[in-house]
Structure 1
């Protein structure tokens, strides 16, 4: 199966409200020989404000973000959707892509009225080379040179790890250079840690991961939290009845026999402890797993003791049910998904709406407002109106133009509310901090300040 290694450069790190500015991908065969590549940049959307720190790190000026010779966001995403669909089926892989780039790319597809799950449907699979590197660093420390940060912790930043292992990473934070660095590390890890590579490929597939979790008495998972690597011996207790790819497991360094007598309140308190004794594995996110058969002992417990604990857990249906229900209740306590970007996982479009999405992209702009009006899903209607206001402002209805002006004002100012996106005021606060932490980027940051001044003038004149 072919690989599609990809990377993005974005306006910031918010997976809902920031925007991709550059996308690069290289398609390879199974031996990492390049077959094709694509690299695209786009313009900043009129209601998106970049993080000044992101511009300072990447060396991209606000003038480059606004360059009228670049395609619009919609035009870039449309081209990427077409190209990547033609390259499918493949394994989509990258560096921290599943936690970050994947979410930004899904937002890009969703906000431009394309099905957002391109990378894990129609035979495609997903793998993250970062999680592979982290697991190898723990299990086979001689296989990979891992630099240390100023606090002495392992640093898995690609621009540091790739050069430490022999890659000439001269254009770090450029998307295509980061893709090339990722392929270099992937090739190195496959050569030096073939069993780990085999596991990565196995668990890039959701169904394979589910089958593994359903048949193993316990598994060993590698996780990273704020740069700290940890491994857990996990025995399954059940899956989310609403999301079949979410499995909940007990860390069996906690003896299940001693948990059965706990009250519901005590069990809840236990699950709130850190590190969490019940952990969630997302089978569709290429988790870093290995079989219990690959270890001799874990955390001072030999394999026989761990197997006994896993078997005791499986026999205690009442404990498993209590653990699962408590974990599900705690996981459901999340922020309210008010804004359209936060509703990306709010259900799949109907078949009728899917047909309308196709018609929208095929129609000229003069006919697209009529298509948008027919959407049954209110999310699609709102996203469609945004695209109309952005691309067909002069020919769309007064209602759509008024909507878009209101959107612009709310996005740039917050309209007096505490909002989750970057407003002009928030950007000025970030600019002050970036000026202290990135003095080498003074020219870029001065240009960004002038850009904010211009936005304030636009707001004062009614956008």
Structure 2
């Protein structure tokens, strides 16, 4: 295959928990396709051994069916695991994509790279590379051009965008949901379905997945309305809104106003009042208090944005968006320039989020400098035996503690006696803190699934694994 041809790399992780920062991957599956979504090359399916200072969430194992024993027996060490994945994702002209991958799986890749001294971002933008996510494309297809795809409903009577529901409704084999490879093939088949049924929509959102192309759609001066589809929006309008872009935050998020909502608070309230109300949960608003109709759109997270023209008469009927009323509100915004000033003031200071004391959750505390990146490459390439005595000059305070954890988890035999004691003490403290609640949860799950032989087998396996781990 000619390496310059653009390809898709479809992928999925199964993990031991729901937090990409705190939890660990247990399985990865990925396969490459050509631009027409035909599979090329062999699939990559690998397991990852759980680290010695980590308690796998039993709920996750019940979903995936993967026991810690299976991952230990068949898995790679985390550095080997992420290296194999990174090699695929960083091949030139690769568009890496999954289902809900921007919010979850891409974060797993980044955090796992970070723990293992691989640059966490470059795989997704260097050498003609990019990333994409099919979940919001499915939402957009449903809201704007639903023909040709079957749309299943969930118990609440709303459309279900769960991959296993969509694939069953569309006759796609998905008997093994939450097996990473089954999920990958189901994602490819759903992508094909949209590409065949609605080729223009598919191609438009594919071309507009990166921030340069998305930026070209944005007209802040005139606040030209855009169609936006997002899981954060209400089902009332099929997860769709007409938004008016009005400014940028200091970290380059697009500030937009949701024209499907009441914009009165933006006119009547001061900047401070807007800020207070914006960060108050809707459920905590007093009776009669309107929510602030503002949404931040991150152009580097493959958001769905399109010109007003995609709202055909059919799409308007489906989404129940009153286009005329939205345009009237846009004119009202133009008559109140102070709204822009107020929102600039609201977002002028970045909100301070508390920093986790755990070094491994501090990926977003800052970028590594070029010289630190060079030192990290030396760490990656070094033989395990010399890691303790490497003469490296780093400025970032995260690197030294990350290096100790990296050595202790993956090359315990290379630690000095003193270092081994330090690591075992860390494990003991961590388990003493976490075990009481963990075992209680395990017991509750056991009581809950007493009649289910398969689930009880998994829970018992976890119990035995943890018993051995902490002994």
TM-score by length of 1: 0.88
- Could you list the runs of 5+ residues in structure 2 that have no partner in the other structure? 1-5, 283-290
| Selected match of 2:230 from 198, 210, 223 | 223
| Selected match of 1:236 from 234, 238, 245 | 245
Cα distance in structure 2, aligned partners of 1:354 and 1:136: 41
Shift of the 240–226 alpha-carbon distance from structure 1 to 2, 3 Å rule, reads closer
The match for 1:449 is 463
Q: Deviations over 1:372-423 (max 9, x none)?
A: 7533212121111111112332323345334422332243233xxxxxxxx3
Does the CA-based 8 Å contact 2:15-2:23 persist in structure 1?
Answer: yes
The match for 1:107 is 111
Cα distance in structure 1, aligned partners of 2:125 and 2:422: 34
The match for 2:322 is 301
- Could you list the runs of 5+ residues in structure 1 that have no partner in the other structure? 415-422, 458-463
Q: How does 1:253-332 map to 2 (within 5 A)?
A: 253-254=260-261, 259-271=266-278, 272=280, 274=282, 276-295=292-311, 301-303=322-324, 305-314=325-334, 316-327=336-347, 332=351
The Cα of 1:256 is off from its aligned counterpart by 5.3
The match for 1:44 is 50
Cα distance in structure 1, aligned partners of 2:208 and 2:33: 20
Cα distance in structure 2, aligned partners of 1:210 and 1:73: 37
- Please state whether the residue corresponding to 1:377 is helix, strand or coil: coil
Does the CA-based 8 Å contact 1:62-1:451 persist in structure 2?
Answer: yes
Cα distance in structure 2, aligned partners of 1:11 and 1:255: 42
Shift of the 214–403 alpha-carbon distance from structure 1 to 2, 3 Å rule, reads farther
- Please state whether the residue corresponding to 2:413 is helix, strand or coil: coil
Q: How does 1:177-192 map to 2 (within 5 A)?
A: 177-192=182-197
Q: Deviations over 1:256-283 (max 9, x none)?
A: 5773343345433553464651101010
Q: How does 1:150-169 map to 2 (within 5 A)?
A: 150-169=155-174
| Selected match of 2:203 from 188, 191, 198 | 198
The Cα of 1:10 is off from its aligned counterpart by 0.8
Q: How does 1:238-253 map to 2 (within 5 A)?
A: 238-241=247-250, 243-244=251-252, 246-253=253-260
The Cα of 1:300 is off from its aligned counterpart by 5.4
Does the CA-based 8 Å contact 2:89-2:96 persist in structure 1?
Answer: no
The Cα of 1:188 is off from its aligned counterpart by 0.2
| Selected match of 2:412 from 385, 393, 406 | 393
Shift of the 263–170 alpha-carbon distance from structure 1 to 2, 3 Å rule, reads closer
Shift of the 14–436 alpha-carbon distance from structure 1 to 2, 3 Å rule, reads farther
Q: For the aligned residues, what is the CA RMSD?
A: 2.6
Q: Deviations over 1:99-145 (max 9, x none)?
A: 11111111111110101114422022221111111222222344322
Q: Deviations over 1:218-239 (max 9, x none)?
A: 1121122499552221111211
